[in-house]
């Protein structure tokens, strides 16, 4: 039996600056969740590895270029994406120095937001953020 399954990647990028923790977020340009805050990410291309796809999406949506990310986990809740069955692999990194960012591609806006100020996020991104905090052993 053939299954229609999309694969996406999400980037959870933290910045530690002046004893405060920031998260890189984008405001979605398109549906679903148009106008909502989300993690940078998107669909994996047919000919790329997961981490490569995540680095590409991160750069496309925020202009941020990184070399390496650490895997957070796989998110496969049946209804996590209203467009259909989607499996997402999330990656993370923690920066010690603020990098210039610029919204592009599927992002209307990109910004560093204080982690404590994060409210509602698109999809299951709040859970992904919590898991990345645990993975990096970030003390809040």
Cα angle 55, 57, 59 (rounded to 5 degrees) comes to 70
Of the residues 60, 109, 119, 120, only one is catalytic, namely 109
Following DSSP, what letter does each residue of 101-131 receive, concatenated?
Answer: ----TTEEEEEEEEGGG----STTHHHHHHH
Burial of 27 (0-12, 13-18, 19+ CB in 10 A): middle
Q: Is 109 a catalytic residue?
A: yes
Catalytic residue IDs: 109
């Amino acid at each position: 039996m053939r299954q229609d399954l999309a694969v996406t990647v999400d980037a959870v990028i933290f910045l530690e600056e002046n004893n405060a923790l920031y998260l890189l977020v984008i405001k979605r340009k398109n549906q679903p969740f148009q106008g909502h805050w989300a993690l940078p990410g998107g669909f994996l291309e047919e000919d790329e590895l997961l981490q490569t796809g995540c680095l590409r999406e991160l750069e496309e949506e925020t202009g941020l270029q990184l070399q390496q990310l650490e895997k957070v986990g796989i998110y496969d809740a049946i209804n996590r994406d209203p467009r259909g069955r989607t499996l997402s692999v999330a990656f993370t990194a923690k920066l010690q120095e603020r990098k210039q960012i610029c919204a592009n591609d599927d992002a209307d806006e990109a910004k560093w937001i204080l982690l404590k100020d994060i409210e509602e996020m698109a999809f299951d991104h709040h859970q992904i953020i919590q898991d990345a905090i645990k993975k990096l052993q970030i003390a809040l």
